[in-house]
């Protein structure tokens, strides 16, 4: 949903890819988001305050920045939508890509054949040599199914390991905070 004079946007959808990069010596993240209705967006983020991974439902408030050579959307606020389901990357074998007005990707998943539309920027993540086994994000919008993300097995494994590491660090931080508060309540710092 757009607000004002096209300078602010608030959208809800799925995070489908995260690409870290540096710009002017600072790390930023290029996020590809697909709204729940299937519309693709690219939004830039400086510091994620929540652990991000492909497939999570998010709400983003962003503004249009015109400081650089071309305008781009910058995230002002990002939060995970807890009440929405997660898109789970599922293993699939991509067998063919048909480029045309609407690119189509065909393959097999769970011994069933599929042929679905795909956005141009998702095509860049599909290797040229086919068939290939990839982890895919499929978005169902009404009666249509689209391929909105594709990851090589190593890339998916890396995301999975990073998420588990961040979760364990968060859990350890929570546990140490709890132990410290318990220590303070028990009078551990009393003279």
Tell whether pTM > 0.85: no
Q: Which tokens sit at 130? A: 């086919």
172: confidence class by pLDDT, cuts 50, 70, 90: low
Dihedral of alpha carbons 123, 22, 43, 70, sign? negative
Helix (H, G, I), strand (E, B) or coil at 86: coil
- Segment 77-99 shows an average pLDDT of 91
Residue 169: what pLDDT?
A: 65
* Contact of 107 with 94, CB cutoff 8 Å: yes
CATH 2.40.50.140 occupies which residues in the chain?
Answer: 2-80
d(CA 67, CA 37): 30
- pLDDT at position 69 over 90: no
Q: What is the pLDDT of residues 100-142, one digit of tens each?
A: 888 999 999 988 999 999 888 888 889 999 999 999 999 988 8
Share of the chain above pLDDT 70, in %: 83
- The domain made up of 88-182 has a fold known as OB fold (Dihydrolipoamide Acetyltransferase, E2P) (2.40.50)
- The domain made up of 2-80 has a fold known as OB fold (Dihydrolipoamide Acetyltransferase, E2P) (2.40.50)
- Segment 146-158 shows an average pLDDT of 86
């Amino acid at each position: 949903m757009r607000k004002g004079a096209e300078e602010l946007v608030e959208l809800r959808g799925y995070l489908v890819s995260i690409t870290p990069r540096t710009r002017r010596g600072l790390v930023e993240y290029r996020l590809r988001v697909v709204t729940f209705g299937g519309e693709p967006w690219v939004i830039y983020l400086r510091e994620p305050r929540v652990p991000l991974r492909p497939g999570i439902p998010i709400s983003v408030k962003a503004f249009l920045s015109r400081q650089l050579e071309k305008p781009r959307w910058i995230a002002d606020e990002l939060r995970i939508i807890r009440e929405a389901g997660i898109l789970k990357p599922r293993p699939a074998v991509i067998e063919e890509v048909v480029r045309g007005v609407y690119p189509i990707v065909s393959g097999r998943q769970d011994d069933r054949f599929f042929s679905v539309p795909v956005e141009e920027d998702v095509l860049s993540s599909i290797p040229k040599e086919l068939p290939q086994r990839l982890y895919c994000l499929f978005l169902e919008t009404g009666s249509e199914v689209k391929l909105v993300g594709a990851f090589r097995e190593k890339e998916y494994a890396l995301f999975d390991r990073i998420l588990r590491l961040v979760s364990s660090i968060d859990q350890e931080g929570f546990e140490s905070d709890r132990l410290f508060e318990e220590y303070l309540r028990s009078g551990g710092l009393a003279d």
